[in-house]
Amino acid sequence: MTDAVEYALEVVNLRKAFGGLTVTQDVSLKVRTGERRLIIGPNGAGKTTLFNQISGDLRPNSGLIRLFGAEITYLPPYQRAHCGISRTYQIITLFAGDTLEHNVSLGLLGLRPSRWQMWRPISFYPDMRSEARRALDAVGLLHLAEHPISDIAYGERRRVELAVALAQKPRLLLLDEPLAGLSNAERSTVKSLIGSISRDTTVIMIEHDMDTALDLAETVTLLNYGRVIVDGPRDVVIADERTREVYLGG
Amino acid sequence: MKWIGAALIASALLLPPFFAGDFYVNLASQILIAGIFSLSLNLLVGFGGMTSLGHASYLGVAAYISALLTARYGFGHGAAAFISVTGTVAMAAFFGVIALRASGLGFLMITLALSQVLWGLAYRMSNVTNGDNGVTGLTRPSPFGISLDRPAAFYWFTLIVAIVAFLMMAIFVSSAFGSSLKGVRDQPRRMAALGFNPWLVRWITFVYAGFWAAISGLLYVYYHKYIHPTSLSTTSSAEALLGVIAGGAGTLGGPAVGAALVLLLKNYVSAYIERWNMLLGLVFLFIVLFMPAGIVPGFSKLIAAVRGERR
């Protein structure tokens, strides 16, 4: 009873408007601890906006967000990171001039008190180095650890992005289109990577590539015009008439 | 190649008092002081992405506090220096809270406005600051009983402070905190998502830059034995900013080179060319056109290209 909170994430009646345009309308979600959730919906459905409110980049106009039972609705992003949320971005935002290892190390540093420490470089922390290299190894990029991000290909950058997030050992991982722009071979690599994430981490994923993503998901939420249209177990949502209508263009 | 460069820099720093006349030794001291000041501004501009047009505030206020305490209220140099630096750092902490509400142009305008307020005060509050006449009759301190009145002695003193300042700032930017500072400069959103508090990272850097500007302010007032409101003016802030950008913002050595360039043009070339301002403009135009990243990155690129060709 003590360690297992039933829901990793609860979103209650969330609402967000930019001027007259409401991009999140009364969204409510419950994601169980350890669950794999896929969020789908056409372009402009408000998927990334929802992510941005969960990670704290955007403040909702009203509603509640709870992380493992604790309210985080108005917490700044960096505090949410310390509460166990990690995310990846749709548009890759790595540090292009720095090495892969440095990029992953920054993710580790962000959660450690040593980020305030002003006399020793990151490279002086052997445990952080080895942990960063382990994370890179997990995504199959250890051999490129010393290369700058600008040297590596787009698909590899996606994997670094994933390595940064996974190195933080998040309790809740938000993946914003982790397969976007990848080749078929890369897709299956990243797919098996996501598939191998420990069950201690709850995963919520936005993805357009239904063929690949559906295999990874247990539950699916369909958004359209900022509203939750259908929400439930994968097969139920796929079979639903409204999914066909909105998303599969049927 | 690296050793040759290091030897050149070392001899440039160590030899002046032995061979050069007092005029040049004094010029070298001034370059060192401007160098410390530029390096502190570079923490904000180059490493933090915070372009400030009011950095002279910290130099000027530290200088004024020290000048007034020693000349008017009979404080010793040690106590005056301590109060001056502490007071200036406290001011930087307060101004940082105001200025860091904004970023980019907004930040620049707030720093400019705050520095204009101080400059106006220095001019108008003449019962305290002596207004346009400045504060005169100042002395140099005598650390451990060594008088700093001779140019060479003052140069050695300044050189020691400058080396400590350079090392401290170099360690700061390459530390773990320095990594988060550069991260916040390039991608504040991502850094926040990773667990860093961007505002606090910027604020701490702002205060630290204020500290080293205060140190350079003390040296400035010791050197000139005089302080005038112009030291607080936008022109002073802008000159330092030009030096940082010309030398190479975000590099360790660049700002010092840039500061040296500005000072040489201002104090040395101006003796031969009346319109030295025009020359300054032309030099900057040249730098912006041919070495947009600054002198130091420009030359390292040039050297790398030459070496590559030889291979």
Query: Chain B residues within 8 A (CB-CB) of chain A?
Result: 171-172, 174-180, 182-183, 186-187, 189-198
- Asked if residue B206 belongs to a domain, the reply is yes
Choose between A1 and B80: higher pLDDT: B80
Q: Which CATH number fits domain A1-84+170-250: 3.40.50.10440, 3.40.50.10860, 3.40.50.300, 3.30.930.10?
A: 3.40.50.300
Compute the distance between CA of residue B64 and CA of residue B217 in angstroms, rounded to an integer: 9
Q: How far A248 CA sits from the closest chain B CA (Å)?
A: 33
Cβ contact, residue pair A106, B183, below 8 Å: yes
**What is the domain extent for residue B56?**
26-232
pLDDT digits (tens, 9 = 90+) for A161-173: 999 999 999 999 9
| Residue A150 touches partner B, C-beta closer than 8 Å | no
Answer whether B195 sits within 8 Å of A125, measured CB to CB.
no
A174 vs B: CB within 8 A: no
| B219 domain residue, yes or no | yes
The answer to whether position B144 is within a domain reads yes
pLDDT of residue B28: 92
Cβ count within 10 A of residue B168:
16
Q: Find, among B89, B109, B80, B45, the residue nearest to B246 by Cα.
A: B45
Residue B169 included in any domain: yes
B176, containing H or E segment: helix B176-186
User: What is the domain count for chain B?
Assistant: 1
pLDDT of residue B119: 94
* B274 within domain boundaries: no
The pLDDT, as a whole number, for residue A172 is 96
Q: CB neighbours (10 Å) of residue B145?
A: 5
Q: Is the Cβ of A99 closer than 8 Å to some Cβ of chain B?
A: no
Residues in A closer than 8 angstroms to B205, CB to CB, are none
pTM of the model: 0.92
Residue extents of the structural domains in chain A: 1-84+170-250, 94-169
Q: Which residue of B has its CA nearest to A82?
A: B195
Q: Is residue B4 part of a domain?
A: no
Region of residue A26 (phi > 0: left; psi between -120 and 50: alpha; otherwise: beta): left
Average pLDDT over residues A1-22: 84
B94 within domain boundaries: yes
| Domain-embedded: residue B35 | yes
Task: Give the Cα separation of B11 and A221 in Å (integer).
Answer: 70
Q: Please determine, for residue A73, whether its predicted confidence score (pLDDT) is greater than 70.
A: yes
Whether B46 has a pLDDT exceeding 60, the answer reads yes
pLDDT digits 0-9 by tens, A106-150: 999 999 888 898 888 888 888 999 999 999 999 999 999 999 999
